[in-house]
Amino acid sequence: MQHPAVPDLSHTHTRPIHWVATATALAGVVALSAVLQPDAATAAQTAAPSPRSAPAQTPPPDPAAVAFPVECGPVKAVVHKKASGDLDGDGRPETVAVVHCDAPMGTPPDGMYVLTRAADEDKPRVVATLVAPEDRRTVTDLSVRDGAVLATLLGYSSADVPSCCPDVTDDAKWQWKNGAFVRGTPSQARTV
């Protein structure tokens, strides 16, 4: 039986010098490509979209520009807390402001108001009272989440409880429904 002719390929066995020569050649190609960079592209570039084409973000109403319906006598009303967000789904933010009289002593009750500014108005205005100062409440936490106002209110179980020491804690939630803010209880309500 005769075997087919197979050439002697002993010269094709790789030796370390072959790998060194291959690595050197490859390094030379990489170095040469780094030196010979192509010229900058000269094709016409399209202009980036103008920032004016994007809708302007409406800033939330500033409570400093509002006269609140709070009777403070010789002292002024101060904004003690604020939170902003779109409460009525119109795409423009509203601001919820907690206001009390800047009394030198004691704990004056808070009022909590919703402010808005129409697109054609310069100054914001009060559109809703969520907590009136006459309710003798203090707002300790305030946030706007998912179109709702969330607040923790401290109050009194009776008129006999001293103003220094509220004894009732109430978590409240207001949402815009059918043209008014409706008060409810947040799902994570806590009891004291």
For the stretch 31-46, pLDDT in tens is 555 555 555 544 444 4
Chain-centre distance of CA 43, in angstroms?
Answer: 41
Residue 149 neighbours by CB under 8 Å, 6+ apart = 83, 87, 96, 114, 130, 142, 143, 173, 174, 175, 181
* 102 domain residue, yes or no: yes
3-state secondary structure 61-73: CCHHHCCCCCCCC
* 19 domain residue, yes or no: no
Its sign, for the CA torsion 25, 29, 32, 34, is negative
pLDDT range class, residue 77, cuts 50, 70, 90: very high
* 2 domain residue, yes or no: no
pLDDT(79) > 60: yes
* 47 domain residue, yes or no: no
More confident residue, 101 or 5: 101
User: Contact 170/153 with Cβ under 8 angstroms?
Assistant: yes
* 99 domain residue, yes or no: yes
* 105 domain residue, yes or no: yes
Residue with tokens 């075997």: 3
* 148 domain residue, yes or no: yes
* 18 domain residue, yes or no: no
User: Contact 61/124 with Cβ under 8 angstroms?
Assistant: yes
* Number of domains within the chain: 1
CA pair distance 164, 161, nearest whole angstrom: 8
> Is this model's pTM higher than 0.75 or not?
no
pLDDT(8) > 50: no
Q: Of the candidates 165, 176, 161, 170, which has an alpha carbon nearest to the alpha carbon of residue 190?
A: 170
CA pair distance 37, 169, nearest whole angstrom: 71
Q: pLDDT tens digit string along 111-127? A: 999 999 887 888 999 99
Domain that holds residue 102: 63-184
